[in-house]
Structure 1
Amino acid sequence: MAVLITLALVIITGTVAHRVTTPQDQLRLIDPGELTVATAARGDWRVGGVTVHIDGEGLVITEGHRTVWASPAGESFVTGADGDVTWDEHRGYFWPDVRLATQWGDQSIDAVRADGASVTIGGRLSGAENDIGYTLTVSARSGGGAVTEIEADGVAVVGLASARSRGAGVHGLGAQFAEFDLDGRLIPIVTREQGVGRGLQPLTYLADVTNGGAGGTELMTYAAWSTFVTDDLRGLSLDPDRPESHAFAIADTRDGDSVGLQVWAPRLRAELTAADSPAELITAQQSGAARPGLADWTQHGAIIGLQGGTDVVRAHVAELTAAGTDVSAVWLQDWTGQRTTSFGDRLWWTWQHDQQRYPGWADLVADLRKQGIRTTTYVNPFLTDAAAKPGAPVRNLWAEARDAGYLVRTGSGDPYELDQGGFSASLVDLTNADARQWFAQVIAEEVLADGVDGFMADFAEGLPFDAVLADGDARLLHNRWPGLWAETVAEACRIAEKPDCVTWFRSGSLGMSQDAALFWTGDQLVGFGAQDGLESALRGTLSAGVSGWPLVHSDIGGYTSINAVVHDYVRPDDLLERWAEYAAFGMVMRTHEGNRPRANAQVYETAQSRASFARMTRVFAALAPYREVVLEQALRSGLPAIRHGWLVHPGTAAAQVDTQFFLGDAVLVAPVLTSGADSVDVTFPPGRWVHLITGDTYEGDRTVTVSAPLGTPAVFARVDDPRTAELRQSVQRALR
């Protein structure tokens, strides 16, 4: 899994011996122009509970006392252009090169028509050569707010600019790993590999020059989609049921007075919401979405990532349980076999039990189940030719899919074989209903066989933009692919008749949470950093939470470990403990050995690591009754379980801090995000706050440096909250 790069570097006199060109995003935007409004088009129109107001400055949509949406004053807010986007692709990384031809940046509003169900605004978009017609239709949205549809004649890209108060924060756009406030950025909306280093030097530089841009940037993510909310308490989300909503887009927050969204499609349909508080805004934006539940067995201990075969797994489970670890499941990603590549230990993507590595597999799963421990594994939407695998499995799924026409194809009609760094693989064509059903059946029969209760559903960000599909255009389906993968996985769980099947995803698309409950933040580096470590996992969780992913967790200890010669990136001594402290106050606690297990510290490795990890698993298990309430709220309302202070205490200093979070609305957690630190700065909201472990109390509405030695994470609740006494008792019992 993870980023497919090689950093076997040859350093000669301080320089890299071999260097390749580093690709970059080439983003170009339509220049907005002037807005003119005909006198006859000015006035007020009502549709449902929504009022559409047009004057010489532009368009404002209100609902009761709230402004649901407004155009930037006096400027064009609908634009269009002709042109194209070409893509540079390398092992799951995609870099767009945007070329604009004719631009239509000036806008007129000429006429308005209302029919009781909608208000339709008509006008012209003008450019240097000619002008074209457009329509903008406004209707009431079920659940509150409004829906607007924009269509322009003969454009390749359509733009919509939304007003905001000067400098009002912008949040969301998927699982973004920059600051929670995305103001001041040009953000490509494309799912892709997120990179290694992402600005951390020298790793990012080395990954770039040796692997064509694999270092990544702060705006690269496995999960990007066109939805955002602002500090003005307004939200915009493209309609997930429209194919064009999944098109490549560019969000522009550089102008402090607006948020621009330019979508590479001739039309867009956006849902517009407003509320009186951030939490109400997220609930309003997510209203109407059905969300699957999360099996109860995930809540009573950690999911332990292990590899190495039957005897190794049995031994590590025995060591951990003897140390007092609460184990809910094992996660055995190498169940299908393991191969070694230049990046580290990789898996055989043949999706059948490797009998040599795991003899007595069914007995292992059954024996663990008797101990109350579930078994989970791994699968992704790729297939690789099983003929190359030593001790080849009974079925060659790649050959079956090839012969049935179930694989994504090239322009010449051949299976699209994608370089995975040491081997090639092909995607199952998830637009082919027969292929999707076949693969769901394969997963049910092979992956979920013998009592397995779930799996990591990896990848799904790698569909090439030039792929040939059974149904549809890859340019509109690239960002949609994670959602199709989630539908396939959900169908596999239904076929297997496993209602408590648990699957988790790193790649995401708009509306995907209707088929998937649990997500993770991808493949962080084995470090603490904000660019690509523990802090970045927190950032991605907070951003994803306001974008429609209510349940997000991360790999405890990170995943990516690289020996870059100039520096060997392995887990610092305290990273596993600090990451476990962070995860103990999340919704799911899951470890990962990483891509270089033998080079990195593991939770089962020493008596000390087992003891410290066991303590945090007991804390996690003790909080299950509280998390049950948080989970119910998340599934019902769409509010994230892990919340930024902006959601819980808006208007306070705590609402401006990205390095702490709330589990639900009662528990405040300030994780240690620096190696070697034994204290952490905590910004308390108003009120008096009590440390759930030490019992120390702190006055709110201020920032305090709190002692946080290893094993004593900084976690608090309000003194006057009726849940606090029970939370304190639960945590302290777990730590005895």
Structure 2
Amino acid sequence: MIEISENSLTLRIGNFELAHSEDFPIFAVGRGENTYEMSHGNFNISKYYNEKIPLRKFKVLSKNENQCEILFFSPSGEELKSKFSLIADKLTIEILSASKNLNRFWIYIPTYESEEIYGCGEQYSYLNLRGKRVPLWVSEQGVGRNKRDIITHFANFKDDAGGDWHTTYFPQPTFVSSRNYYSIVHSYAYSEFDFSHRNFHELEIHEIPQKIEFGTGNSLIDTVVKLTKSIGLPNPLPDWVYDGVILGLQGGRDVVVPKIMRALEKGLKITGLWIQDWEGKRITTFGKQLMWNWVYDENMYPNLPEMIDQLRDMGIRTLGYINTFLALEGSLYQEASKKGYLVRKPNGEEYHVVVTTFPAALVDFTNPEAREWIKKVIKSNMIGIGLSGWMADFGEYLPTDAVLYDGTPAELYHNRYPVDWAKINAEAVEEAGKMGEVVFFMRAGNLHSARYSTLFWHGDQLVNWSKDDGLPSVIVAALSMTMSGIGLTHSDIGGYTTLAKNVPDIVVTKRTKELFMRWAEQSTFTPVMRTHEGNWPDENWQFDSDEETLKHFARMSMVHYALKPYIKQLVEKYAYEGKPIIMPLNLRYRIENTEELKYQYLFGEDLLVAPVIESGQDTKKVFIPDDEWVHLWSGKRYTGGTYEIEAPIGYPPVFYLADSEWKDVFEKAGDMK
């Protein structure tokens, strides 16, 4: 509904409305500039505002029942021409024109104190963002991510790499409200979504956006589904992905093959071997890293295509690794440099970015020839030798002072860079005729990444129990991704980042046996189970570090495999209908404070999961929603309330609906010994 009077404007869909008056204008515009300092993918951003001008006056240019064009203006002459369209449950605002040199934009949305806000991409620390001001900028997540944590202080002191609660690989200019509406800002510019005001939300975008979209649903889950469909749905996962664990190993053929054979003998259900060092390795002060030249290393993996075929005959697919960089020592860098496919500095030199301890060149995705070239590398050197998937890493490191082929300012392209990286990988798979067979997984992203990438992982968590950057954080990350319309997520079992070499004892972090086992339990109840040895493999507990761990991991892999029919239909409902997979409890039940329950989740609508996320726990207090639930391991029944549940290693608190159509599948999984 559109209501216009002499001095006011109201636009309403469902229970959502925008209201403009001279005292409370919808829009403000301005001019400003940002300064960006990047260190190892972490950014310090300083903002300067020349002016901020509320557009208090308006003039109706045209109007019918569902559409109107309106010119907003200020006494000083700034103008913004907008088109508002109301179709069913959606309000779209298109910015048709604006005064010259405007590069700041604000929109104000009325709210209530009791409203909860979710989304903004992948958030690791908070599920409910009400009361927060959320910057949206693709970056490294940071080490520790908590300014009160000694590890974060050390990482900041050493490399300016500590991060904060809001730093993330995958921000997204979308949010969902507990009032059953969603918002999408169609812009890749730096933005800040401010949910800290009592009576309004303030969305600040550092350009004049092309479009802003609001949609409403009949319920919170209906709203999330509509957002999910709006940003784009991916293809379902290949069937083989569900058949066990994707085992992350490295070190060469003579190392990984014996490990696989021993694991199979002990009952580990393996569906994939992920060898991130298929293209070679380098040892740095950060640990065991990779040689970023996307050609297989014949010394480490002699006749790799033959090995891939042999493993496939055993029912095991092989996965590799690629990222947005090229090693300066590599043959591909020499080729890309000669052809002019690399990001450049303002002085015309190639931009060589230091990622951890060494410089590397970035491929310029605004160059159509460079895009075709890197796709050819993927199709020939990876798919062509038989790889069934890969980690498509990075995407966060485009410097804002870079010069791009097509002239787009790097500041405005930075957040789009990982989206184009996802699109390039998707196109390579499609052009190779391997859709539905190949899976690639990414950590960086932004608006519309979901429609291109086949899978996401939560990034480089610390190998510890910290709530901002350890095991608990991947649960919040999965839930916030769901509330951002992204359903296919998983994590490195056991985490990735170890601080063990050349650091003070007070900040040493090493993966323990207990942490690995508990992380494996949590990953069992996600779409994909995949391990990572971490940046210092020899310092960390691995899946085969002792017999007990291997036996535990084998059992959890069989539980996951037993759940295949259930998990597969969850993924298909997400891919075809937009239905969420890993859900906060309030998508199905009336919950007063979702933030207090952010470490429990629904895995589909029929499984309730409350992972153990603290060291030394053998019981856990669990909130059981109103329904009849069956404990997966004991068969004991529970109804709504809070209970202290026994949770020894190997038996995390998991429950299924008593009347679930998947009861037989759950009973089979629960009986795994």
Give the structure-1-normalised TM-score: 0.87
Q: How does 1:693-708 map to 2 (within 5 A)?
A: 693-700=633-640, 702-708=641-647
Q: How does 1:167-566 map to 2 (within 5 A)?
A: 167-199=114-146, 201-212=149-160, 214-239=161-186, 245-288=187-230, 289-386=232-329, 396-471=331-406, 472-499=408-435, 500-563=437-500, 564-566=503-505
Partner of 1:576 in structure 2?
A: 516
Tell me, in whole angstroms, the C-alpha distance in 2 between the residues paired with 1:170 and 1:277: 14
Aligned-partner SS, 1:260: strand
Partner of 1:147 in structure 2?
A: 92
CA contact (8 A) 1:445 1:496 kept: no
Tell me, in whole angstroms, the C-alpha distance in 2 between the residues paired with 1:584 and 1:59: 51
Partner of 1:728 in structure 2?
A: 666
Aligned-partner SS, 1:378: strand
1:98 CA drift (Å): 0.7
Partner of 1:39 in structure 2?
A: none
The AA in structure 2 aligned to 1:125 is: S
Aligned-partner SS, 1:336: coil
Aligned-partner SS, 1:122: strand
Tell me, in whole angstroms, the C-alpha distance in 1 between the residues paired with 2:552 and 2:91: 51
User: What does the per-residue CA deviation read over 1:596-645, in whole Å, with 9 as the maximum and x for residues that have no partner?
Assistant: 00000000221111100000000100001011221111112323311111
Backbone CA RMSD of aligned residues: 1.9
CA contact (8 A) 1:248 1:476 kept: yes
Tell me, in whole angstroms, the C-alpha distance in 2 between the residues paired with 1:70 and 1:608: 62
Tell me, in whole angstroms, the C-alpha distance in 2 between the residues paired with 1:440 and 1:614: 37
Partner of 1:24 in structure 2?
A: none
The AA in structure 1 aligned to 2:520 is: A
CA contact (8 A) 1:164 1:230 kept: no
Moved more, 74-83 or 601-610: 74-83
Moved more, 515-524 or 361-370: 361-370
Q: Which of 67, 72, 82 is the aligned partner of 2:31? A: 82
The AA in structure 2 aligned to 1:285 is: L
User: What does the per-residue CA deviation read over 1:104-129, in whole Å, with 9 as the maximum and x for residues that have no partner?
Assistant: 03522343521566211223235xxx
CA contact (8 A) 1:58 1:74 kept: no
Tell me, in whole angstroms, the C-alpha distance in 2 between the residues paired with 1:166 and 1:347: 49
Tell me, in whole angstroms, the C-alpha distance in 1 between the residues paired with 2:554 and 2:415: 39
Tell me, in whole angstroms, the C-alpha distance in 1 between the residues paired with 2:450 and 2:215: 19
Tell me, in whole angstroms, the C-alpha distance in 1 between the residues paired with 2:262 and 2:452: 36
Tell me, in whole angstroms, the C-alpha distance in 2 between the residues paired with 1:201 and 1:684: 32
Alpha-carbon distance change, 642 to 529 in structure 1, aligned in 2, over 3 angstroms = same
Alpha-carbon distance change, 697 to 332 in structure 1, aligned in 2, over 3 angstroms = same
Alpha-carbon distance change, 166 to 660 in structure 1, aligned in 2, over 3 angstroms = same
Tell me, in whole angstroms, the C-alpha distance in 1 between the residues paired with 2:561 and 2:266: 15
1:225 CA drift (Å): 1.6
The AA in structure 2 aligned to 1:208 is: N
Tell me, in whole angstroms, the C-alpha distance in 1 between the residues paired with 2:49 and 2:557: 54
The AA in structure 2 aligned to 1:474 is: A
Q: How does 1:61-100 map to 2 (within 5 A)?
A: 61-63=11-13, 65-67=14-16, 69=18, 74-100=23-49
Aligned-partner SS, 1:621: helix
User: What does the per-residue CA deviation read over 1:287-321, in whole Å, with 9 as the maximum and x for residues that have no partner?
Assistant: 35342221111111010000111011111111111
Tell me, in whole angstroms, the C-alpha distance in 1 between the residues paired with 2:593 and 2:209: 40
1:381 CA drift (Å): 1.0
Tell me, in whole angstroms, the C-alpha distance in 2 between the residues paired with 1:73 and 1:172: 31
Q: How does 1:11-22 map to 2 (within 5 A)?
A: none
CA contact (8 A) 1:80 1:125 kept: no
CA contact (8 A) 1:646 1:656 kept: no
Moved more, 84-93 or 65-74: 65-74
Alpha-carbon distance change, 517 to 463 in structure 1, aligned in 2, over 3 angstroms = same
1:255 CA drift (Å): 0.4
The AA in structure 1 aligned to 2:461 is: Q
Tell me, in whole angstroms, the C-alpha distance in 1 between the residues paired with 2:22 and 2:539: 58
Tell me, in whole angstroms, the C-alpha distance in 2 between the residues paired with 1:461 and 1:648: 35
CA contact (8 A) 1:71 1:163 kept: no
The AA in structure 1 aligned to 2:483 is: V
Tell me, in whole angstroms, the C-alpha distance in 1 between the residues paired with 2:178 and 2:403: 42
- Structure 1 unaligned spans of 5+: 1-50, 240-244, 388-395
Partner of 1:7 in structure 2?
A: none
1:77 CA drift (Å): 2.3
Moved more, 74-83 or 175-184: 74-83
Q: How does 1:20-169 map to 2 (within 5 A)?
A: 51-54=1-4, 59-63=9-13, 65-67=14-16, 69=18, 74-105=23-54, 107-111=56-60, 113-115=62-64, 118-125=67-74, 130-141=76-87, 144-150=89-95, 151-154=97-100, 155-169=102-116
Tell me, in whole angstroms, the C-alpha distance in 2 between the residues paired with 1:265 and 1:654: 33
Alpha-carbon distance change, 464 to 661 in structure 1, aligned in 2, over 3 angstroms = same
Alpha-carbon distance change, 73 to 107 in structure 1, aligned in 2, over 3 angstroms = closer
Q: Are residues 1:647 and 2:587 paired?
A: yes
Tell me, in whole angstroms, the C-alpha distance in 2 between the residues paired with 1:576 and 1:589: 13
The AA in structure 1 aligned to 2:519 is: W
1:69 CA drift (Å): 4.6
Aligned-partner SS, 1:350: coil
- Matched residues, number: 664
CA contact (8 A) 2:141 2:168 kept: yes
The AA in structure 1 aligned to 2:11 is: I
CA contact (8 A) 1:183 1:256 kept: no
1:522 CA drift (Å): 0.7
Tell me, in whole angstroms, the C-alpha distance in 2 between the residues paired with 1:73 and 1:699: 53
Deviation >6 Å, runs of 4+: none
The AA in structure 2 aligned to 1:565 is: P
Aligned-partner SS, 2:296: coil
CA contact (8 A) 2:128 2:594 kept: no
1:699 CA drift (Å): 2.0
